Amino acid sequence: MTAATSISVRDLTLNFGAVSVLKTLNLDVAEGEFIVLLGPSGCGKSTLLNCLAGLLDPSDGQIWIKGQNVTWAEPSERGIGMVFQSYALYPQMTVRGNLSFGLKNAKMPQAEIDKRVARAAEILQIGPLLDRKPAALSGGQRQRVAIGRALVRDVDVFLFDEPLSNLDAKLRSELRVEIKRLHSRLQNTMVYVTHDQIEALTLADRIAVMRGGIIQQLAAPQEIYNRPTNLFVAGFIGSPSMNFLNGATVDGGRAFDFGGTRIDLAGYDGGAVGARDKAILGLRPEHLTITDTAEPGRTIPAIVEIDEPMGADSLVWLKAGEATISVRVPVERRPAHGAAVHLRVDIPKASIFDARTEQRI
């Protein structure tokens, strides 16, 4: 472990009875890094966060924070602050009481408490709200106070458990920017749980995509988006999601055969493809272009079915043999319904998966 490692999770396992929620999970988070744990419900992301916080005891494995083995330490002794989805503000205390509760428990002198509360209120712009009760605050203000409660503790690690899920769309994007600003100002290590891929892609230094208690891929957002390590990650990230074409790689891996249509794989950004009788070609909607002319080895013939205009872009759904393909086009270049067109494939940006192992080649 290097000195710059903030959190180190080693072979962490958690079982609830016979159900295994986390399976020998390993994760190293660098100091000052913003890690997002992303995955569908039940993937173990919140469980992992609760283990980091010390709110759940692992069945096996260790957790190190700042070079200390904290696997069995109390939550308050781990140097963490946590922000919850439901804000979890103490309803009977004022905002000031909420912010200072943890500090009072730590027997901190009143002058220091006042100083820290004032600083947090200044950073989060909640100064005028300090003497109100949580019931008198709006959702956004409540979440700010909840962040402030983590802030006053002056900790190394911030843990966020879906902090924006209870807010409406507009507030959510506002607070998202604010969290990002907070991170660049404080430079703390942050671990952020969400099922919202927009939050993940915008906030994270690295994203850990989880499923079934296992981290599927841990990489920078662009890497995850462009080179998903397996079919699950490819399908989970991106909205609208990636198109998957079932076929085979032929000609020693130089081409992809899909219902008789051959696509040249020259320039593919990945490992040696080789010949596989069951392969999947993954194409994002923006990596396809609609043309009128067929180019052998580079295009797929398709019929336009429907389109969904979404402001600047339009999502066009086409039928190519058995498969349905979505393509993102500028709204002014929408093709007519029922038109027979050709889709040019951007192979350097595509992903090829082995259909058996579901891994990217």
Using rule CB under 8 A, residue 139 touches another protein: no
Q: Which residues of 47-56 are buried (b: 16+ CB within 10 A; e: fewer)?
A: bbbbbbbbeb
Using rule CB under 8 A, residue 82 touches another protein: yes
Choices 29-37, 83-91, 251-259, 305-313 (CB under 8 A): range interacting with another protein: 83-91
Which candidate, 135, 161, 133, places its Cα nearest to that of 147?
A: 161
Q: Which member of 64, 84, 244, 317 binds another protein (CB under 8 A)?
A: 84
Interacting residues with another protein between 213 and 232 (CB under 8 A) = none
Nearer to another protein by Cβ, of 134 and 335: the residue is 134
Dist. CA 98–CA 145, nearest whole Å = 8
Dist. CA 196–CA 86, nearest whole Å = 16
Interacting residues with another protein between 13 and 72 (CB under 8 A) = 50, 53-55
Using rule CB under 8 A, residue 109 touches another protein: no
Residue count, binding to another protein (CB under 8 A): 27
Using rule CB under 8 A, residue 106 touches another protein: yes
Question: Whole-number minimum distance, CB 125 to another protein, in Å?
Answer: 21
Element of type H or E holding 309: strand 299-310
Choices 60-68, 81-89, 113-121, 286-294 (CB under 8 A): range interacting with another protein: 81-89
Residues 6 or more apart whose Cβ sits within 8 Å of residue 39: 45, 195, 209, 210, 211, 236
Q: Which member of 17, 18, 19, 105 binds another protein (CB under 8 A)?
A: 105
Using rule CB under 8 A, residue 149 touches another protein: yes
Using rule CB under 8 A, residue 355 touches another protein: no
Cβ atoms of 148 and 126 closer than 8 Å: yes
Dist. CA 116–CA 110, nearest whole Å = 10
Q: Pairing between strand 288-291 and 340-345?
A: antiparallel
* Chain contacts with another protein (rule: CB under 8 A): 50, 53-55, 74-76, 80-82, 84-92, 101-102, 105-106, 146, 149, 153, 161
